[in-house]
Amino acid sequence: MADEPLPVPADRLPRHVGIIMDGNGRWARSRGLPRGEGHERGADAVRTVVRAARKMGISALTLFAFSSQNWDRPPEEVFHLMELLRRYLHEEREEILENGIRLVSVGQIDRLPAHVREPLEELKAASASNRDMILCLALSYGGRETITAAARDLARAALRGEVDPDTVTPEVFERFMESSRLLPPLDLLVRTSGEHRVSNFFLWELAYAELHFTETMWPDFGRDDLVEALVDYARRERRFGKTSEQVAAVAEPAPAEPAHGGSAR
């Protein structure tokens, strides 16, 4: 539920927004600062954007906070990012619980160090009955890795005789994707820092999402940038493979037949 006037009509608001938070390093370098400072300011931007999204009534927000490939960064940078996550979970705990936010995660969280995994699991459990917004952290997350895991689970289910391979459709497969159990369909992907890639994020979920790219570096991303993305999204016509005319016909149903004397066709 929105707490403030909406920048777009409520029925044009995306239910689920995913953000690839990019540009922390370049933000720092352009200021002569160490990369870590960019991540620190990036964590501040996370706080701002989560708050703004909740106030605007967005149902679900997924933040790509650490990819499966980010483990290959220098150990001191990985350590710093883990420390930022630990701090975030500690410092935002009350705000998350008091504001009706349900925390969930996607990704291989068993790879996270205990000092991140344990508070993450604790806050996920403590916030499980919250209903105002889902905040999903994509951690140790890769789109290909997730699809592969779903394929493995599906193969196991088939071996147990629970699934007939001939009946596997995209809808059946999707039931094995962790995101489908936790989140509404992805409506809008935002990527910051001027890069035009999806970088192994939500590969399955992106099939019909709208894409919004901005030059803003993640540490500078704030409420106004989120509003700009929402306004851009609200202008889009989502056709899901249909024609404009078909979409318009669903949006504006044909006038009702007259009660008497109308044609039965």
Residues with a known catalytic role: 22, 70
Q: Is residue 226 a contact residue for ligand FPP (CB under 6 A)?
A: no
- The region of 40-48, 109-117, 124-132, 207-215 touching ligand FPP under the rule CB under 6 A is 40-48
Torsions phi, psi of 212, nearest 5? -130, 120
Residue pair 21/49 in contact by the 8 Å Cβ criterion: no
Tell the smallest beta-carbon distance from residue 219 to ligand FPP (Å).
8
- Among the listed residues 17, 19, 46, 229, the single contact to ligand FPP using CB under 6 A: 46
- Which of 59/192 has CB closer to ligand FPP? 192
- The region of 7-15, 37-45, 161-169, 206-214 touching ligand FPP under the rule CB under 6 A is 37-45
- Among the listed residues 14, 18, 25, 142, the single contact to ligand FPP using CB under 6 A: 25
Contacts of 71 (CB under 8 A, 6+ apart): 78, 111, 140
Tell the smallest beta-carbon distance from residue 255 to ligand FPP (Å).
50
Q: What is the dihedral of CA 214, 215, 219, 225, to 10 degrees?
A: -40
- Among the listed residues 14, 18, 23, 143, the single contact to ligand FPP using CB under 6 A: 23
Q: Is residue 42 a contact residue for ligand FPP (CB under 6 A)?
A: yes
Closest alpha carbon to 209 in 11, 7, 18: 18
- The Cα 123–Cα 92 span in angstroms is 10
- Strand 60-67 versus strand 16-20 pairing type: parallel
Residue 61: strand pairing partners: 17, 135
**Binding string, 52-91, against ligand FPP, x = CB under 6 A?**
-----------x-x----x----------x--xx--x---
- Which of 12/80 has CB closer to ligand FPP? 80
Q: In Å, how far are 16, 56, 64, 201 from 2, measured between CA atoms?
A: 14, 5, 24, 28
- The Cα 65–Cα 24 span in angstroms is 11
Q: What is the dihedral of CA 150, 79, 198, 190, to 10 degrees?
A: 110
Q: In Å, how far are 16, 66, 74, 186 from 70, measured between CA atoms?
A: 24, 6, 9, 23
- The region of 7-15, 39-47, 163-171, 203-211 touching ligand FPP under the rule CB under 6 A is 39-47
Residues 193-212 that bind ligand FPP (CB under 6 A): 193
Q: Is residue 43 a contact residue for ligand FPP (CB under 6 A)?
A: yes
Residue 129: strand pairing partners: none
- Which of 103/188 has CB closer to ligand FPP? 103
- Among the listed residues 13, 19, 36, 39, the single contact to ligand FPP using CB under 6 A: 39
Q: Is residue 124 a contact residue for ligand FPP (CB under 6 A)?
A: no
What residue ranges bind ligand FPP (CB under 6 A)? 21-26, 39, 42-43, 46, 63, 65, 70, 81, 84-85, 88, 137, 193, 218
